[in-house]
Amino acid sequence: MARTILFNKPFGVLSQFTDAGSPQARPTLSAFIDVPGVYPAGRLDRDSEGLLVLTDDGRLQAQIADPQHKLAKTYLVQVEGAPDDTDLQPLRAGVTLKDGPTRPAQVRLIAPPALWVRVPPVRFRKSVPDRWIEITLREGRNRQVRRMTAHIGFPTLRLVRWRVGDWAIDDLIPGQWRDA
C-alpha cells in the first residue's frame, strides 16, 4: 500500500533529503523525516514554507508534480505594498513571464492569516505597507508565485503553500508531518 506524508516545511529547509554538493551544509528533509522510500512530489523553494507532499508512489508523485494534471496548489502570500482587486486582475488573466505566459490563477485579497512565527522574521518597514493574498495555481514553474507578484509590482515577502489538491496543512506546525 502506498504511503503519503504531509509535511509542513519550515523556512530555510531544502525540499530534498541530501545537500551533498553544497560547500556549507543546509537543512534538508532528512532532519525531519526518517521514512525510507518516500520522496517529495514537487518542490518548495528553500525560502518558502508550508505543505510538501511526499510519497512512495511514483504515479502519484508524477500526478502531483506534473503541470499537465493541473492539480490546484494554494498559497498564502504576503506582498510588499497594498494591491487592490484591480492590481490582482492580471494574475487572474495570466501574465507573461520570461518563460512564457502563465495560466490564469485564482487570486483574492485576504486578512492576515493566523500563522506561526517565521524564523527569521519577514523584514518590517513602517513606511511600506504589506497585504496578504491567496493564490491558487494549476501549474508549478520555478519560483512562479514570486515572479508573478513581482511582475505586477508587489514583491513577495512571505510565501506559504497551504493546500495541494485536497490535502491541506491544517494544524501541522513547521517541521511536523503526518500520514495523509
Active-site residue among 19, 34, 45, 87? 45
Known active-site residue 179: no
- What angle separates helix 144-151 from helix 85-93, to the nearest 10 degrees? 130
Q: Report the C-alpha gap between 8 and 162 in whole angstroms.
A: 9
Q: Report the C-alpha gap between 163 and 170 in whole angstroms.
A: 9
Are the C-beta atoms of residues 29 and 7 closer than 8 Å to each other?
yes
Q: Report the C-alpha gap between 139 and 115 in whole angstroms.
A: 25
The answer, yes or no, to whether the previous bond of 174 is cis (omega within 30 of 0) is no
What is the H or E stretch that residue 89 is in? helix 85-93
Number of continuous H segments (helices) and E segments (strands) in the chain: 3, 11
- φ, ψ of residue 35 in degrees (nearest 5): -125, 115
Q: Report the C-alpha gap between 8 and 52 in whole angstroms.
A: 6
Give catalytic residues, as residue numbers. 45
